[in-house]
Amino acid sequence: MSLKAGTIATYLGEPSPLGATVCKMHNERGVNFSVFSKDATQVELMLFRDAESPEPFLTLDLEPMVHRQGHYWFIFVANIGHGQHYGYRVRGPHNPRRGQLFDAQKLLVDPYARAIERPKGYDRVSASMPGSTLANGMKSVVVDANRFDWQDVPPPRTALANTVIYELHVRGFTQHPNSNVKAPHRGCYLGLLEKIPYLKSLGITAVELMPIQQFDPDDAPHEKQNYWGYSPINFFAPHNDYASDGTGITAVEELKMLIRELHKAKIEVYLDVVFNHTCEGDHAGPTLCFKGFQAGAYYMINNKTGAFSNFSGCGNTCNANFSIMRRMIIDALHFWVEEMHIDGFRFDLASVLARDGKGKPMQEPPLLWSIDSDPVLCGTKIIAEAWDAAGLYQVGSFIGDRWNEWNGRFRDDVRQFWRGDQDAAKHYAPRLIGSPDIYAQQRHSPQRSINFVAAHDGFTLNDLVCYEQKHNLANGENNRDGDNHNLSANYGFEGPTQDVRINNIRLRQIKNMLATVFSSLGTPMLTMGDEVRRTQGGNNNAYCQDNEISWFDWSLVETQADLFRFVKGLIALRRSHPVADQRIHRSLNDVVEKLNVAWHGIEPNRPDWAAHSHVVAVSMFSHRLYEYIYFIHNAYWDSLTFTLPHFDGCDWHLLINTANASPEDIYTLGTAPKVTERSLLVTGRSFVALVSRKR
């Protein structure tokens, strides 16, 4: 805290910008505080010496006639600055039907706070009851945005056509004792910084960080911890528990260091942002921030019953298209881009953001169009999880020109095809060429589809081939939680086994699905640890498992070195084979046409789309390499002989065969061995890629 004892003075402040801003005003250095509250009758700004202080050392009463304009309350406090802890108490009417839930005893976090700290005595249960939480309340912290040296490191600005996304959890990536990251960096921003060489060696171009907006770890049932972080307290502050010393100020500094060093390594940073709900829950949840300032401005509340709408499945739903909330979301995105140098965003349950104040889906949602067209955000990647918890599913129909989408259809169709389901081939084929059945009508770019088969939510890739049923008993919900629709298979035994035949099939299926992701048009995404068969023991909803169930086990990098080599090879090949040609075309229609896509079966130009078919083969021409490439996807359980397409003056060379043991499962373009026969015996449940070479 920056404080000169006995010299604090207050002056008339400014309503803009919102939050706590270190600045010079009235010829004094200090902090301008500004918050929104339409219906408040009294606002108190409280200054604390640190997060553990049970009482403020100074309470400032913001007088409505002096410190209020419109619906904004503000004051300038001289001779305080970076590191100053503060909070608010707000008095007003209590009328749930009008969205008024004021409690003058609650210490409130600033909605625009750049840093937040929880005292050791923080108690979510107490915060959920009426009355004072002053002693154990969370504190906001003033941050001076000009104190960090970015060293003029430019952002990578990787074209989306060249992007490979790696979804990871900051804590889980290095928290395991075998990560070789020493305390206090283990499980923190600086722990991830130490692993940049690993990410670089893998070949990914962007990390997508699971939520790091300050969240409430206690927002979980049965005395468990909220590990994933989809429980934000506010939308600006980096999560303080990922700082090496647990403080909010250090969290800001160390996150900036991480971003700067990732940028030096030419790796972009995307944030998984949660704007659809907060940790305050419904009427029974705690009052920590938004509820205490103006609940009806931030949440969808039924004006007849006072009940919170719940399209998020988490107890409340943000009123994202209401003016106050909409502006705050845009301000938060601007903050992460301009002050924190973030390169992109993945929007959790983004379809919620398309609903109006009563929850009805909007044809032209103003927030989503604002994000799509915002000049500050125009250089960022924006990715939608294009569905919500109340059944709104918008994959292929999400609004906007720039929005990219998690392609849930890709995930499901790839799983079903390789599992050997009936009637899967005809649905699988479009996924390989950018899902034109979903995206071509709107003339979207080829990268619109974010292609993945596993993510944080659901089975890991390893567990997808080891378990037919979820095993979530550790979550304390009697295995009721988590999705029952996993499209998984165990190939003869539930869980780990010593059966060599089963293990061979499982490894091959992992390679098949990874090869599909990285050879398909669109933008590929890999989830933390899938490159080395990370397992969660069949838990498909590990949101509350801050333990070895969720953590990256670094011993796998050695024991699964062959698979790691295979994934690195896939990423390297992606940059050189025809899917890279998608970057030179404006729309998916152009790409499919100019790649000369042709479909085959076991015989050239004779595709089989029958319900019983388990085979898809496709050839395409690379205008950059002046060569053809041919992909064989054999999901049938037995070997099949494929007659190879013939191109005058060319020979085929083997790039990938997932049935082969390492190192003969994948080659570089320069080392691919020649195929001397006109036909090829392809092992059951395997993926083959060949490239043509002129004689």
State the catalytic residues. 348, 385
Residues whose CB is less than 8 angstroms from the CB of residue 442 and which lie 6 or more positions away in sequence, other chains included: none
Alpha-carbon distance of 120 to 126, in angstroms, equals: 14
The strand order across the sheet containing 42-48 reads: 58-62, 42-48, 85-91, 139-141, 115-117
The values of phi and psi at residue 470, to 5°, are -70, 155
Alpha-carbon distance of 654 to 204, in angstroms, equals: 24
* DSSP 8-state class, residue 530: G
Beta pairing class for 268-273 and 679-682: unpaired
Alpha-carbon distance of 186 to 656, in angstroms, equals: 37
Query: What's the CA angle centered on 529, arms 488 and 243, to 5 degrees?
Result: 130
Alpha-carbon distance of 695 to 691, in angstroms, equals: 13
Task: Label residue 402 exposed, middle or buried (CB < 10 Å: 0-12, 13-18, 19+).
Answer: middle
The HSE-up count of residue 166 (CA atoms within 13 Å, CB side) is 27
CA 122 to chain centre: 28
* DSSP 8-state class, residue 154: P
Helix (H) or strand (E) holding 630: strand 627-634
Q: Considering only CA atoms, which of 390, 519, 541, 387 is closest in space to residue 460? A: 541
If you write DSSP's letter for every residue of 408-472 in order, what string do you get? HHHHHHHHHHHHT-TT-HHHHHHHHBT-HHHHGGGT--GGGEEE-S--SSS--HHHHTT-SS---
Residue 156: C-alpha distances to residues 86, 149, 159, 376, 589 (Å): 36, 18, 9, 16, 28
Alpha-carbon distance of 218 to 195, in angstroms, equals: 28
CA 108 to chain centre: 28
Helix (H) or strand (E) holding 45: strand 42-48
